Amino acid sequence: MKKVSLVLVLVFGLVLVYVLTDFPKWGDPSSPASSHLSPYYIEHSLEDTSVPNVVTALLADYRGFDTMFETAVVFTAAMACFFLLRVLVCYRTRDERLYRHLESGVVLRITGPKRLPPGSSFRRVESPRARFDVVTSKVSRILVPFIQLFALYVVAHGHHSPGGGFQGGVILGAAYILYAIAHDLQTACDRYLERVMFTMLAGGVLLYAGTGAACMALGGNFLDYSVLAPVFQLSPVASRSFGILVVEIGVAMTVMSTMILLYNFLVSMGRCEEGL
Amino acid sequence: MFWQIDNFVLTLVIISAIAAIQIKDMLGAAIFFGIYSFMMCVLWAVMGAVDVAFTEASVGAGVSTVLFIAAVFRTTRRTKD
C-alpha cells in the first residue's frame, strides 16, 4: 500500500510540474492577472480609501465579503472545536481542594467544606504536579503587557504597515498562551472567563456584519463604508479607512478568542482545568 | 532578489518537510513543522509579501506549534508505524 501511494504521489507531482509550465512567468506584466485588475488596485486604492497598505485595502474594503466570511469560518471552526472537545459536565472524583504555600511550595490537601481564607499566602492549585516557578511567572508577567501592546499596535496600524486583525488577534492569543504556560491554566481561565471569550467570539463576527448592515441602513451597499461619514464625522474617503479599522477590531476579537479557546480545550482534554 | 538566499531557504524548507514526515518522535515532528513554517515565512519576506510572512510567523510558527505540542502531550510521543 505504501509503495502504491508513493507511485501515485510521484505521478501526480510530475503532472503538477508539467502543468506549471503553462502558467505565465512570475511577475510577467502582460499576464491576465496583472493587466487589468492589479494596476487598478495599485493606482486607485489610496485615493479611494486613503489606506496606504494596498493589501489591507483589498482585504477589508474591495473584497470585504471575502474577509467577513473568513471570519465566519474561524467562528465556525471554534464552535466545532467546542462541540468536539469540550467536556460539559466535570465530575470531581473526590471533594478535595489543593492549596500551595507560595513561599515554600508546600501543597496542602483539604477535604470537606473547610476553606482557606483568600487573603492568606496560600493559593488554590489544580494539581500537585503543576510547577510553580517564581522567575518564569514574574518574567512572563512583565512580558505579557508588552506583547499585548504590540498586538494592539498591529491591529490599529494595519492600514499603514503589514498586519491587521488576523495577525493582531493571533498575537493577543499568544500572550494569553504565554501567561497560561508560565502560571497554570486555572489562573489564566480566571482572568479570561470562558463565557466572555464566547461572547467575544460571536461579537467579533457581529461587529463585522453589523458594520455592513449599518452601511445598508444608511442607504449604501453592504460594507460600503463611505456612507458612514456622518456617523464618524469624517469625509467619505477617510471614513472608509475608519470603517476598515472597525472591522479589523471585529476580526481581532474573533481570532483572539478562537486561539484562547482552542488552547484551553486542547491542553486540558476539554475540561479547562489543569493544563500543560 | 538574491537567488542564493532563495535557494538556501528553499532547501531548508524541503529538508524540514521531509524530516517532519520521516521522524518517529512526534514532538520532534512538531518542532520541524515550526521550522518549516518559519522558513516559509522567510521565503515570503524575501519575495516581498510581508503581510503573508507576518501571518505565517504568528500563526504557523507561533501558535500552531504550541497547539501541536499540546496535542502531542495528550497522546503517545512515539509513532507506532
CB atoms within 10 A of CB A274: 16
As given in the structure block, the three cell numbers for residue B8 are: 538556501
Confidence of residue A275 (pLDDT cuts 50, 70, 90): low
Shortest CA distance to A208 belongs to which of A55, A60, A18? A60
- Say what the pTM is: 0.82
Q: What is the pLDDT of residue A226?
A: 84
Scanning A11-30 for CB atoms below 8 A from B yields: none
Q: Number of structural domains, chain B? A: 1
Which DSSP helix (H) or strand (E) runs through A96? strand A96-101
Give helix A194-217 / helix A236-267 axis angle, nearest 10°.
160
CA A48, distance to chain mean position in Å, is 29
- The 3-state DSSP class for residue A140 equals helix
Return the C-alpha cell found at B39. Answer: 522558513
Structure-block grid coordinates of residue A96: 478535595
Query: Tell me: the pLDDT tens digits for A53-74?
Result: 888 888 888 888 899 999 999 9
What is the predicted pLDDT for the residue at B1?
60
- Position A94 pLDDT exceeds 60: no
Give the count of beta carbons closer than 10 Å to the beta carbon of residue A132. 16
Which residues from chain B sit within 8 angstroms of residue A53, using beta carbons?
51
Q: C-alpha distances in angstroms, A229 versus A61, A93, A215, A239?
A: 15, 59, 10, 5
**Any chain B CB within 8 A of the CB of A163?**
yes
Strands laid side by side in the A96-101 sheet: A107-111, A96-101, A122-125
Decide if B79 is inside a domain: no
Share of chain A above pLDDT 90, in %: 30
A94 to chain B nearest CA, in Å? Answer: 23
Helix (H, G, I), strand (E, B) or coil at B2: coil
- The 10 Å Cβ neighbour count of residue A88 is 8
The domain of B63 spans 3-74
Residue A93 pLDDT > 60, yes or no?
no
Question: Which phi and psi angles does A108 have, rounded to 5°?
Answer: -100, 140
Question: For B7-38, what is each residue's pLDDT tens digit?
Answer: 888 999 999 999 998 888 889 999 999 999 99
B65 assigned to some structural domain: yes
Q: What angle do CA A81, A85, A87 make, to 5 degrees?
A: 135
Residues from chain A that touch B72, judged by Cβ atoms under 8 A, are none
How many residues does this entry show for chain B? Answer: 81
Tell me if chain A has a CB within 8 Å of the CB of B62: yes
| Residue B67 is assigned to a structural domain of this protein | yes
Q: In the predicted model, what is the mean pLDDT of residues A175-185?
A: 85
Which A residues, 172 through 211, put their C-beta within 8 Å of a C-beta on chain B? Answer: 173-174, 177
**Residues whose CB falls within 8 Å of the CB of residue A249, separated by 6 or more in sequence, listed in order:** A155, A165, A204, A207
- How far is A274 from A187, CA to CA, in rounded Å? 10
Burial class (CB in 10 A: 0-12, 13-18, 19+), A58: buried
